[in-house]
């Protein structure tokens, strides 16, 4: 192709691309980047493969269920192009690792399923001065854009409220082909940027509807009022101020309670919207929880719950509170009140 | 009549992807207040675009008959 040529192929070969997330979007983006001749690809994801992933996460098979996504993705991609160097990070993107990882790449591709992580990617891209290729899906619709491209508008210029409460794929359901289409459009933006051809979706949000094959482009400008610097980044993503609240009926209606004590501990607290996840297994259970939902955490007296909240905040949970006094104070409140909770 | 377009979870709430609305002399901020009242959209994070250009939700720009106002929530999935 005249638009690529030998110089273009060389540019592809030398560029370094990080894909954040090896789920539905990642599985669509990664094979095309690998096949294009990009030889340095990073993939970050702490998740393992589940059967329910297979309808859209096409790098995986029934035989790879329960294996780490990044490990299987690396094997598949290396089978596709043995020249490609795939660096894998078996963890989630967090405030404490984002800047260090981003520094090694030229372009950051968002293939996550969490709005909170998108703000983290956005802000880390601003600090490290990298373009951010955004893609996201809701049922049959998808959004694509390129943020922070040559100092252009960012995710915060498009969606200002970083406390937004929305649900992810597993909760709303998406069609595999919709995720595939959006991922491929993202891969296309990456390749155009590397080759410096065509027009990059900077300052534009492409909204695609796979049910009726319509697409709209929305224009937006750089309007950021916040200064995103290392101080902002540290206070937003690295410091974990913990909010203590007392147990009461209102909070019981608003938040899901997590009991982080071990299963044998007493008194047993049975609330209509509580679950028990011992602190010892919290990290592996994080993926079953919705980062955008409100949670109230308790243990026996209040020490382990603080530890649990630190973990949840590291994983970008946006609304987690500590029940001061733990199970003992909850039991006291229940006994003092005539109400049945 | 202007066209109001809905996307993602908002379209599920309004049960349509677009509708016509009488807007003579209506400011965008007032139009949003009407839509919030009609569909209880307060729970949604939303950005809005007038004729494919992003505008502030409290914009005092007046809508015209040929205008298209789009309500865009951020999507989470992937």
> Considering the domain boundaries, does residue A323 fall inside one?
yes
pLDDT, residue A226, reads: 74
A230-239: list long-range contacts, CB under 8 Å, 24+ apart. Answer: A230/A127, A232/A123, A233/A95, A233/A99, A233/A123, A233/A124, A233/A127, A234/A95, A236/A95, A236/A123, A237/A94, A237/A95, A237/A96, A237/A98, A237/A120, A237/A123, A238/A95, A238/A96
Q: What is the pLDDT of residues A56-113, one digit of tens each?
A: 999 999 999 999 999 999 999 999 999 999 999 999 999 989 999 999 999 999 999 9
User: CA angle, corner B12, sides to B7 and B17, nearest 5?
Assistant: 50
pLDDT, residue A337, reads: 67
**Nearest by Cα to A64 from A48, A87, A41, A40:** A48
Same domain, A132 and A14: yes
Q: What is the pLDDT of residues A308-317, one digit of tens each?
A: 998 898 888 8
> Considering the domain boundaries, does residue B40 fall inside one?
yes
Q: Which of A216, A233, A250 is the last residue of a domain?
A: A233
Same domain, A58 and A202: yes
- What phi, psi does A231 have (nearest 5°)? -65, -45
- Beta-carbon contacts of A60 under 8 Å, excluding residues fewer than 6 positions away, are A27, A49, A53, A54, A69, A72, A73
Total CB pairs under 8 A between chain A and B: 97
Same domain, A204 and A89: yes
The CATH number of residue B32's host domain is 3.10.20.30
Enter the tokens of residue A151.
Answer: 């100092």
Candidate from A160, A179, A209 with C-beta closest to B78: A179
| pLDDT, mean of residues B38-58 | 92
Same domain, A250 and A322: yes
- Chain A residue set in contact with B, beta carbons under 8 Å: 21, 23-26, 110-115, 118, 135-139, 141-143, 158-161, 164-169, 172, 174, 179, 182, 205, 207, 209, 216-221, 292
Q: Which of A205, A233, A261 is the last residue of a domain?
A: A233
Same domain, A272 and A331: yes
Q: pLDDT band at residue A161, thresholds of 50, 70 and 90?
A: confident
Q: Which of A201, A233, A265 is the last residue of a domain?
A: A233
> Considering the domain boundaries, does residue A341 fall inside one?
no
Out of A61-75, A110-124, A136-150, A310-324, which region has the weakest mean confidence (pLDDT)? A310-324
> Considering the domain boundaries, does residue B15 fall inside one?
yes
> Considering the domain boundaries, does residue A296 fall inside one?
yes
Over chain A, what is the mean pLDDT?
A: 90
Same domain, A43 and A77: yes
Q: How many domains does chain A have?
A: 2
Q: pLDDT band at residue A244, thresholds of 50, 70 and 90?
A: confident
> Considering the domain boundaries, does residue A76 fall inside one?
yes
Q: How many domains does chain B have?
A: 1
Same domain, A179 and A287: no
Candidate from A24, A218, A292 with C-beta closest to B52: A218
Same domain, A112 and A259: no
pLDDT, residue A300, reads: 87
> Considering the domain boundaries, does residue B62 fall inside one?
yes
Same domain, A81 and A183: yes
ipTM: 0.95
Range(s) of the domain holding residue B43: 2-72
The CATH number of residue A296's host domain is 3.40.250.10
The CATH number of residue A131's host domain is 3.40.50.720
| pLDDT, mean of residues A264-290 | 89
Whether residue A20 has a cis bond before it, omega within 30° of 0: no
Tokens 């709209």 belong to A216
> Considering the domain boundaries, does residue B78 fall inside one?
no
Q: Tell whether the model's pLDDT for residue A340 goes beyond 60.
A: no
Q: Tell whether the model's pLDDT for residue A48 goes beyond 90.
A: yes
**Distance spanning both ends of chain A, measured CA to CA:** 68
pLDDT, residue A169, reads: 46
A21/B7 CB distance under 8 A: no
Range(s) of the domain holding residue A316: 240-336
Q: pLDDT band at residue A165, thresholds of 50, 70 and 90?
A: low
pLDDT, residue A163, reads: 67
């Amino acid at each position: 192709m005249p638009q690529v040529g030998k110089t273009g192929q060389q540019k592809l070969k030398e560029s370094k691309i990080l894909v954040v997330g090896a789920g539905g979007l990642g599985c669509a983006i990664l094979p095309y980047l690998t096949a294009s001749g990009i030889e340095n690809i990073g993939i970050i994801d702490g998740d393992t493969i589940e059967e329910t992933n297979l309808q859209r996460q096409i790098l995986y098979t029934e035989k790879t269920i329960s294996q780490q996504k990044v490990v299987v993705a690396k094997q598949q991609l290396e089978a596709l192009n043995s020249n490609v160097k795939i660096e894998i990070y078996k963890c989630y993107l967090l405030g404490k690792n984002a800047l260090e990882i981003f520094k090694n790449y030229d372009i950051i591709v968002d293939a996550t399923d969490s709005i909170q992580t998108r703000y983290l990617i956005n802000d880390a891209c601003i600090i490290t001065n990298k373009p951010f290729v955004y893609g996201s899906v809701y049922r049959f619709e998808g959004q694509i854009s390129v943020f922070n491209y040559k100092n252009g508008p960012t995710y915060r210029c498009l969606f200002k409220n970083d406390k937004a409460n929305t649900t992810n794929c597993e909760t709303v359901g998406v069609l595999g082909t919709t995720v595939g289409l959006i991922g491929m459009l993202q891969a296309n933006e990456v390749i155009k940027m590397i080759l410096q051809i065509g027009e990059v979706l900077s300052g534009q949000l492409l909204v695609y509807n796979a049910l009726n094959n319509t697409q709209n482009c929305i224009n937006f400008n750089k309007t950021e009022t916040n200064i995103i610097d290392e101080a902002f980044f540290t206070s937003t993503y690295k410091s974990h101020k913990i909010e203590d609240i007392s147990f009461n009926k209102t909070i019981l209606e608003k938040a899901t309670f997590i009991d982080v004590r071990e299963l044998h501990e007493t008194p047993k607290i049975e609330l209509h919207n509580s679950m028990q996840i011992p602190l010892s297994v919290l990290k592996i259970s994080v993926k079953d929880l919705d980062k955008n939902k409100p949670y109230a955490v308790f243990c026996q007296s209040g020490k382990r719950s603080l530890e649990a909240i630190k973990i949840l905040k590291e994983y970008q949970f946006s609304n987690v509170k500590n029940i001061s006094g733990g199970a003992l104070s909850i039991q006291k409140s229940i006994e003092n009140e005539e109400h049945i909770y | 009549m202007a066209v109001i377009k809905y996307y993602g979870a908002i379209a599920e709430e309004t049960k349509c992807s677009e509708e016509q609305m009488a807007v003579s002399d209506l400011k965008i901020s007032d139009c949003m207040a009407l839509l919030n009242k009609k569909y209880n959209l307060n729970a949604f994070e939303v950005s809005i675009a007038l004729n494919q250009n992003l505008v502030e939700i409290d914009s005092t720009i007046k809508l015209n008959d040929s205008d298209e106002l789009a309500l865009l929530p951020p999507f989470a999935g992937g």
